[in-house]
Amino acid sequence: MNTRNRPGREAAARPAGDRVPYGLGTPAGVLQTRRRPTPNESAAQPLERLLNPACAVDGGRPCRHPLANAIENAELLAFEKMVKGKFANIVPALKRIASQQYSEGFADRAQKIARDELGFDLPLSILEDAWIAKLDMRALYGVCVLRMIRVIADQTRTSLQSGVDSTSFFLDCGYHAVDISPCSDGRLKGLVRYILRLPSSSVRSRKAYAGAMFDVEANVKRWVETELERYRESRPVSVEAGTRYLKIAVYHWSSSHPDTEGCLAHNSVERRAADAALARLREFRQAIENSFFCGASVDTLLIGVDTDTDAIKVHVPDAQGEISLDRWVSSLDLYQQTVDASANAALVKVYEAINDSVDGAGEVRSTGVSHEGMRRLIATLLINNLSQVEYVCGQWGDRYPDIGHNERFISVGDGFDEFQVRNLAYFVYLHTVEEGAADLDIGVSVFKQLNIRHGLPIPVAIHYRYDRRVPGSRERTVERCRRVKAAIEARYSELCKAGLIVCAMTIQDRLWGSEIEAVDSDAQGGHMALGLREV
């Protein structure tokens, strides 16, 4: 197969000096290099902050891997701090507002605090009623979290539009489409942008399901739509190119608290989570084979994530595409083995580990190594993740401080591309509440511990995308938002009556980087408030 001469490839190419390397095949002179710290600099930091299961050398000095991207790590850290910092400002601002609720001119002072510290106005009706009854802090908290989503989305939407020619990279690996289904757990919310270090627009679909138990029928439908687009429009490449569709499932576990902080949908049992995700992948591939007699045009890949360190292990398929739970390569092991190697030696070690993995034990006898494109993709993911391992180590020491759940809101529907940050949102992908009831129940149970036990409500952001090319799509999406909101309020009626669930609805065009539009839940006759932008 040769995709190098596909139509439009040269037009999409960018100068080498402007291209962000994925980590594979990058010239040694382009790789990020960093000065080793002096003994005094190492001693200036607490030893426990520097310890990392992937790196414990030279008496605890901070590790610097030759393939890790320090510049990208700094950019991602700044973005994460900005996003989480804005949400962290909500409670202190509301405490200041609450302390002044019985003073003269309270509404004006409250609005000034909100504008200065949060960036938007509060609902005037809640503030004006504070002199009659106690200020409704639950409602204010829910409103602030949900409005902060739109504020941050407006600020970050353009920054997520990567110029990297990611389509060419996947095509060179032999894939015209990549579809990822991670677990809904908020600790995987930064999977694409942080853990795997792929451009935000590079993945065709990334719908999250509790326990990575994706809907096989819905995924087959997505495959059909992708293949029809190739046959009708040759996008992104014609059928003659011989490329494949790649489906990835991502499960997770906790290395420090494996019995309590793993996947809630699988009772924190890592093996059970991995086995369930693998079963879904096999069902998906078999469904396409049974229905269209072309299962060979689909590749599958299983990835596990340690949510304590963001290290991954990739289960390498054999020559027939079969995956074994006992056959994998760990980025944590690679980091430890190559941290003091040269860049070229580290690259060689990654490929050797992938090739050697197919000789390991497993319930399915290996038929040899997977094809070159799959190996290149796996190598790139492992190399990219080395930067994330160092990212966690450099900022938090051996592992994240929030080992367990620490999400700010539940995201229902299609999700926000703008919020790819760990532990920010618990994501529930669903068309109807009835279909996604199990996933939604898990999310509510998580927030009962995070919020309700402290008297705070559960913010639920209902967000769906429409296709402006399809007549009536926008109006139908608005109605879907309202139906889902009504179903959530009916399912958790006691919590809603107590003010412990606060919902907001937004829609967005499928076009990448489009504006988020707020749906007015009190509107009549289909009216909708568009593009609300707070100061």
Percentage of residues in the chain having pLDDT higher than 90: 61
| 497 or 169, higher pLDDT | 497
Max Cα-Cα span within the chain: 78
In this structure, are 337 and 426 located in the same domain? no
Residue 133 lies in a domain: no
Model confidence pLDDT, tens digit, residues 248-286? 999 999 999 999 999 999 999 999 999 999 999 999 999
Choice among 179, 185, 306, 439 that is catalytic: 185
From 378, 396, 414, the end of a domain falls on 396
- What angle is formed at CA 333 by the lines to CA 329 and CA 338, rounded to 5 degrees? 115
First vs last C-alpha separation in the chain: 53
In this structure, are 374 and 515 located in the same domain? no
Mean pLDDT over the full length of the chain: 83
From 373, 396, 419, the end of a domain falls on 396
Residue 335 lies in a domain: yes
Q: Which of 188, 209, 192, 317 is nearest to 253 (CA)?
A: 188
Model confidence pLDDT, tens digit, residues 310-362? 999 999 999 999 999 999 999 999 999 999 999 999 999 999 999 998 765 54
Residue 91 lies in a domain: no
CA dihedral 230, 235, 241, 247 (to 10 degrees): -70
In this structure, are 247 and 347 located in the same domain? yes
In this structure, are 321 and 172 located in the same domain? yes
Residue 34 lies in a domain: no
Model confidence pLDDT, tens digit, residues 56-82? 544 455 678 999 999 999 999 999 999
Q: Where are the beta strands (DSSP E) in 254-364?
A: 298-306, 311-315, 329-330
| 207 or 392, higher pLDDT | 392
Model confidence pLDDT, tens digit, residues 388-432? 999 998 888 779 999 999 999 999 998 887 778 999 999 988 878
In this structure, are 314 and 188 located in the same domain? yes
Task: Read off the DSSP letter of residue 197.
Answer: -
Q: Residue 292 belongs to what H/E stretch?
A: helix 270-292
CATH code assigned at 455: 3.30.1330.140
Residue 444 lies in a domain: yes
185 is catalytic: yes
CATH code assigned at 365: 3.40.1050
pTM of the model as a whole: 0.84
Domain that holds residue 499: 405-519
In this structure, are 312 and 411 located in the same domain? no
In this structure, are 383 and 411 located in the same domain? no
- Tally the domains of the chain: 2
Q: Which of 405, 414, 402 is nearest to 444 (CA)?
A: 405
Residue 423 lies in a domain: yes
Residue 323 to residue 303: CA distance in whole angstroms: 11
From 334, 361, 396, the end of a domain falls on 396
Contact predicate 300/285, CB 8 Å? yes
Residue 221 lies in a domain: yes
